[in-house]
Amino acid sequence: MEYVFKAKNLSKRYGKFDALSGVNLEIPKGAIYGFVGKNGAGKTTLIRLMCGLQTPTDGSYEIMGAELGSKEIIKMRHRMGAVVESPAIYKDMTARDNLVQQCLMLGLPDYDNVDDILKLVGLSDTGKKKARSFSLGMRQRLGIGVALCGDPDFIILDEPINGLDPQGIIEIRELILKLNKERGITFLISSHILDELAKISTNYGFIDHGHIVRQMSAEELKQECRKSLRMKVSDVSLLSKVMDEKNVEYKVIDGNTADVYAELNFSDVARDFEKVGCNIIKMEERDESLEAFYLSLLGGGDNAQKSVC
């Protein structure tokens, strides 16, 4: 598999504080990579390292095959775009002038693509209107437009829908999906609005206290979060026997608990369990969301209550 970014034991230390510790992370080419973690988990620190705004304390990384410290890394960064924390735009300029200015800063031979980008991000009709008069959603779209000026293969977006109204969220979501599908642009998206992130991500990375807790594909997450019937019984080995006879898929959680992936008739199940001498203590339906999965990944409790802030 080809990757646009690979981190190898990446660490960043500020004094005695480890913002990142031994991070290993891989972003597949063509993915929309949802980067999930609470405030202070290390998301923005990693993004700053990726963009070359900071240097790691230990470890290394590759961008599109170019190693950190190599001559090629600068060329690869020219194939990246980013909107970190807030869009880097000139508020006293029009949308078009912002894009022209970015093209000049990048040293591009011309800015013939500016009008196409304006159309792509839905700002072609803003005319002489200054960016300071734009809505928050329009500013975010302009920020993405600025990131597109160098015709990037990889774009990093840090909290791109933070503070947007529902319409603005839909516009940004549709723009990201369009750029990914039609232009093949790989995205890393950091967001704490997890249900929205779940609508577009093809891959996920979960970070907590500077450590990557888990990486997985959307398909793997779907399997983890699919609808199930959690059963607590007197003996899970007897539950296994019944489910095997029924040819029903299940997963044992502990000695008394299992998740069953099927719609079952309670009367039939109770009768089958009675035959083998197994008592049903509790049954409940479960349909876990991305947010619920992340909370369970961190272990729940007080930590879980803070995790999506």
Question: Which CATH number does the domain housing residue 238 bear?
Answer: 3.30.70.100
**303 pLDDT more than 60:** no
Residue (of 162, 198, 200, 163) closest to 181 by Cα position: 200
Distance CA 179, CA 186 (A): 9
pLDDT tens digits, residue range 210-245?
999 999 999 888 877 777 888 999 999 999 999 999
Same domain, 34 and 165: yes
In a domain, 305, yes or no: no
pTM exceeding the 0.85 threshold for the entire prediction:
no
For the residues 49-60, what does the mean pLDDT come to? 93
Name the phi and psi angles at 139, rounded to 5: -65, -40
Q: How many CB atoms lie within 10 A of CB 125?
A: 9
Name the phi and psi angles at 171, rounded to 5: -65, -45
Same domain, 91 and 180: yes
Distance CA 205, CA 220 (A): 12
For the residues 138-143, what does the mean pLDDT come to? 89
List the domain range (segments joined by +) for residue 207: 3-216
* 309 vs 179, more confident: 179
Same domain, 38 and 111: yes
In a domain, 61, yes or no: yes
Name the phi and psi angles at 221, rounded to 5: -65, -40
- What's the number of domains the chain is made of? 2
In the sheet with 3-14, reading across from the earlier edge strand, the strands are 17-28, 3-14, 58-63, 66-67
Q: How many CB atoms lie within 10 A of CB 148?
A: 22
Q: Which of 191, 216, 241 is the C-terminal boundary of a domain?
A: 216
In a domain, 206, yes or no: yes
Distance CA 232, CA 149 (A): 56
For the residues 124-143, what does the mean pLDDT come to? 90
Rg (Cα) of the chain, in Å, rounded?
Answer: 24
What pLDDT is recorded for position 299?
A: 63
**45 pLDDT more than 90:** yes
In a domain, 64, yes or no: yes
**CB neighbour list of residue 307: distance below 8 Å, 6 or more residues apart:** 37, 38, 208, 294, 295, 298
Tokens 């990889």 — which residue?
A: 154
Question: Which CATH number does the domain housing residue 99 bear?
Answer: 3.40.50.300
